[in-house]
């Protein structure tokens, strides 16, 4: 069976992606920074697929570089598919982008995905890599400046790696919109924000996962970014979604 490494794959969107891959026949290696138990729905959807958790802190360069080898050794085969979903988010504005805080986001959101992509592709052929981005890379809001820039950089890295790692690996990206609200959202706000999208609703996590799976299995596609955001990237929202339609 093919083996997928999903970083950040134990919780939220990463868990939805991991579950979809399991249903498609992938064995799973899931990276977690904390080692917390995976979402219950993920374990329920694993079926007969192999599933292993790996704890790795992406602030630690050595942990990043060692992860692919540890995964391959424990599961007895190399990684066929890498999903770079682990992400660090911070509600920083332009006045709060201190050097150390910016570098925290860059390590997780850019440096780790690039290093993992290169490590997984080295000495292999037929490898697929999908970077999870964010619809804000096109029309960025004024909020979370450092987070936005780190995702914009990963989007450009997606195109660059697609060329640098060809022909042995394909590198693509999926840019979701708002799919899973956090506790910061008020009652009903998620649906009200969805009504602002060109398609009149928010995308669903399952739709993002379907796009990831398609790119994983599209042998002639590389260097592409698919927006799964109900058209959010076509509009300019001045503020982050959490600040919109609160009433």
Q: In which band, very low, low, confident or very high, does the pLDDT at 89 lie, cut at 50, 70 and 90? A: confident
pLDDT score of 101:
84
pLDDT of residue 5: 98
- The per-residue pLDDT for 115 is 98
How many whole angstroms separate alpha carbon 28 and alpha carbon 175?
Answer: 22
Domain containing 161 equals 3-243
| Average pLDDT of the chain, as a whole number | 95
Is 230's pLDDT higher than 90?
A: yes
CATH number of the domain within which 76 lies: 3.40.50.720
**Using 50, 70 and 90 to split pLDDT, how confident is the model at 93?**
low
Name, in order, each residue with C-beta under 8 angstroms of 63's C-beta and a sequence gap of 6 or more.
56, 57
Please tell me whether residue 172 adopts helix, strand or coil conformation.
strand
Calpha distance 65→220 (Å, rounded): 28
Question: What pLDDT is attached to residue 100?
Answer: 85
Domain count, the chain: 1
Q: How many residues does the chain have?
A: 247
As a whole-number percent, the residues of the chain with pLDDT over 90 amount to: 89
d(CA 47, CA 58): 29
Q: 104-130: per-residue pLDDT in tens? A: 999 999 999 999 999 999 989 999 999
Q: Does position 95 have pLDDT exceeding 80, yes or no? A: no
């Amino acid at each position: 069976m093919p083996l997928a490494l999903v970083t950040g794959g134990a919780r939220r969107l990463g868990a939805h992606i991991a579950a979809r891959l399991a249903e498609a026949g992938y064995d799973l290696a899931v990276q977690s920074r904390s080692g917390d138990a995976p979402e219950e729905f993920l374990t329920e959807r694993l079926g007969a697929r192999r599933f292993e958790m790996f704890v790795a802190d992406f602030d630690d360069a050595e942990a990043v570089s060692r992860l692919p080898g540890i995964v391959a050794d424990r599961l007895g085969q190399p990684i066929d598919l890498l999903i770079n979903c682990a992400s660090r988010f911070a509600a920083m504005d332009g006045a709060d982008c201190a050097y150390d805080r910016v570098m925290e986001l860059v390590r997780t959101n850019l440096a780790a995905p690039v290093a993992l992509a290169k490590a997984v592709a080295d000495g292999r052929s037929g490898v697929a890599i999908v970077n999870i981005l964010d619809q804000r890379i096109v029309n960025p809001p004024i909020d979370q400046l450092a987070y936005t820039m780190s995702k914009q950089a990963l989007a450009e890295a997606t195109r660059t790696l697609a060329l640098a790692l060809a022909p042995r690996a394909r590198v693509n990206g999926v840019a979701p919109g708002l799919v899973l609200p956090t506790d910061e959202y008020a009652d009903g706000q998620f649906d009200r924000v969805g009504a602002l999208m060109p398609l009149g609703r928010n995308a669903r996590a399952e739709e993002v996962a379907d796009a990831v799976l398609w790119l994983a299995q599209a042998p002639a596609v590389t260097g592409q970014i698919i927006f799964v955001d109900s058209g959010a990237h076509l509009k300019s929202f001045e503020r982050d979604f959490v600040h919109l339609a609160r009433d």
